[in-house]
Amino acid sequence: MVRDVSDRDTRMWGMLCHLSALCGYIGIPFGNIVGPLVIWLIKRDESPFIDAHGKEALNFQISMTIYAIIAGILVLAVIGILLLPALIIAGLVFTIIAAVRANDGKSYRYPLTIRFLK
């Protein structure tokens, strides 16, 4: 990833790349993907730090959406009833951790993420 940064605006936009994914939790369909995508597309050319955090947020949210679809299908096999809440909690916790790390000017790599964007 990118070296740590000290510019306040850059850190804020890196943090917003992650926090914008919370739009999915307030009922916006695919808001968890659309939020980071919009910020990343607008700000990616301004800083390698924002570009890296935007890609990381997008990769994680796309991965979590795929995992949630699979867990939703597995509800029919009962195991999905346990997996869906675990995914929701993990997604929320990892998103907050990533936002705090970005606001501190540090890099963060989400666990269990498929790297679609490199």
Q: Give residue 80's pLDDT.
A: 84
pLDDT digits (tens, 9 = 90+) for 53-79: 999 999 999 999 999 999 999 998 888
Residue 13 has, within 13 A of its CA and on its CB side, a CA count of 23
Residues in the chain: 118
Q: Can you tell me the mean pLDDT for 10-33?
A: 92
Domain ranges within the chain, ordered by starting residue: 8-103
Separation of alpha carbons 22 and 27, rounded Å: 9
Separation of alpha carbons 97 and 106, rounded Å: 11
Closest CA to 57 of 85, 31, 83, 80: 31
Q: Give residue 55's pLDDT.
A: 96
Q: Model pTM?
A: 0.90
Six-digit token pair at 51?
């570009």
- Owner of token pair 């679809």: 69
Distances (CA, A) of 117 to 39, 58, 100, 114: 15, 8, 22, 9
